[in-house]
Amino acid sequence: MTAMSWYVLLIALVALERLAELVVSRRNARWSLERGGVVSGQGHYPWMVALHTGLLAGAPLEVALAGRPFLPALGWPMLALVVAAQGLRWWCIATLGRRWNTQVIVVPGLPLVTRGPYRLGWLRHPNYVAVVVEGFALPLVHTAWVTAVAFTVLNAAMMAVRVRCENAALTAAPRQAVP
């Protein structure tokens, strides 16, 4: 198998992971909405989906069209970061449980989660750290630097909107005291 074939397989595996996230997200959205969950930020959500789809399509396209080489000194560390980002993402998903979602849905009355990666007070959104790391590392596994830069810049703008939206939704929701 060529390096490009392995890279396409990696992208396909990440795409399958995203589909698994959507299955979990839809199940969790139903649970949240049944409990009075409030949806926020629907205007930016389609743009976020398009950006992430662009990452998964753009990286292998850039490699193929621009003839980007696999450079082991760059590719292997970037692959390690991609794996670490997946680990952090699923740690966040497991910690939030039914409250994790790809949309911003807050169930009134539930306390903020303060365990797992959320126990670090200075890091309120650890899942977004995983998104940022994966966004530059995944393309750089096979030297797709244009995709890495484009995603990183566009994602920074998206995260500014998303984090503001999520913080506002979390602040506005009435909370129970943490037992």
- Mean pLDDT for the chain overall: 93
3-class SS at 122?
coil
Q: How many CB atoms lie within 10 A of CB 94?
A: 11
Statement: residue 127 has pLDDT above 80:
yes
Interhelix angle for 126-140 vs 72-96, to 10°? 150
Structure tokens at 17: 């992971």
Statement: residue 124 has pLDDT above 90:
no
Residue matched to tokens 């039914």:
98
Report which secondary-structure segment, H or E, holds 138.
helix 126-140
End-to-end CA distance of the chain: 54
Look at residue 178 and tell me if it is in a domain: no
The answer to whether residues 105 and 38 touch, using CB atoms and an 8 Å cutoff, is: yes
Can you give the residue range of the structural domain that contains 105? 3-172
Q: How many CB atoms lie within 10 A of CB 90?
A: 17
pTM, two decimals, is 0.92
Statement: residue 57 has pLDDT above 60:
yes
130-144: per-residue pLDDT in tens? 999 999 999 999 999
Please give the tally of structural domains in the chain: 1
For range 34-58, the mean pLDDT = 96
Look at residue 177 and tell me if it is in a domain: no
Look at residue 155 and tell me if it is in a domain: yes
Look at residue 164 and tell me if it is in a domain: yes
* pLDDT at residue 173, as a whole number: 74
Read off the CATH number of the domain in which 15 is found: 1.20.120.1630
Dihedral class, residue 109 (left if φ above 0, else alpha if ψ from -120 to 50, else beta): left
Dihedral class, residue 41 (left if φ above 0, else alpha if ψ from -120 to 50, else beta): left
Least confident stretch, 78-82, 92-96, 123-127, 135-139: 123-127
Look at residue 92 and tell me if it is in a domain: yes
For range 101-130, the mean pLDDT = 89
Look at residue 153 and tell me if it is in a domain: yes
pLDDT tier for residue 179 given thresholds of 50, 70 and 90: very low
Structure tokens at 141: 């596994």
* pLDDT at residue 12, as a whole number: 98
Residue 105 phi, psi dihedral angles, 5° rounding: -130, 120
